[in-house]
Amino acid sequence: MFSVPHPTIMNLREHIDGFRTSILQHFPETERSAISLGLNLNSRTVEGATVHAEALMMALAHSVSSPSGRKDLQDVLNVNKDCEEVLSKTEQSNIAVSKKCCWCCWQLYRYWNRDDSDGPSTSVEPHTVGAPRFALLGIHSTVYPWSPPPVGVPIEFLRMLATKLQKMLIDVLKSSHRSRQEASLGTLSP
């Protein structure tokens, strides 16, 4: 039917260095070198990011429900008419996968489904009549390397996801750094 190209990032090393710099700016100058040691960013981790099946299915279904999205399906993925017809019928049925999804896929699900059982979403795009509906088994707590599908995912969502992930990383680094400082103070006490 179609194939999804493996995601690539031009100038990956520059992006990783820029990301590291933006994260470290949230810490006092005196703590940055210690924090940087815990911030293990490398190209191997980023290159391992994949497009997850449930994210792709949601993005494809949303692409078919809009004229510009249909054009993207043709231009980016070379989706044939038979596949497009199958995808266009997703508004009448649920899309489900057999396992709980990762945190990033769950955020995409919540973006398009404001009324899920976890309470109000931070979605900026409410569910509209005729748009596809999805069913997912839930979420596990692991954040895996994740690449957005090449079509169908709004840039506003990607910006929101990046902000949430950066905040989570900064919070974890602060907590970890504080714990190390407390532990080292405890070993110096009589």
Q: What's the pLDDT tens digit per position in 97-131?
A: 778 889 999 999 889 876 544 443 444 444 444 56
Task: Give the span between the Cα atoms of 126 and 89, in whole angstroms.
Answer: 20
Asked if 113 contacts 15 with a C-beta cutoff of 8 angstroms, the reply is no
Mean pLDDT to the nearest integer, 41-55: 82
User: In this predicted structure, what is the pLDDT of residue 187?
Assistant: 58
Contact (Cβ atoms closer than 8 angstroms) between residue 87 and residue 178: no
The mean per-residue pLDDT over the stretch 78-104 comes to 72
| Token representation of residue 177 | 């750094």
Of 63, 57, 109, 61, the closest CA to residue 87 belongs to 61
Identify which has the larger pLDDT, 76 or 151.
151
Share of the chain above pLDDT 90, in %: 16
The whole-number average pLDDT for the span 28-57 is 83
Residue 6 one-letter amino acid: H
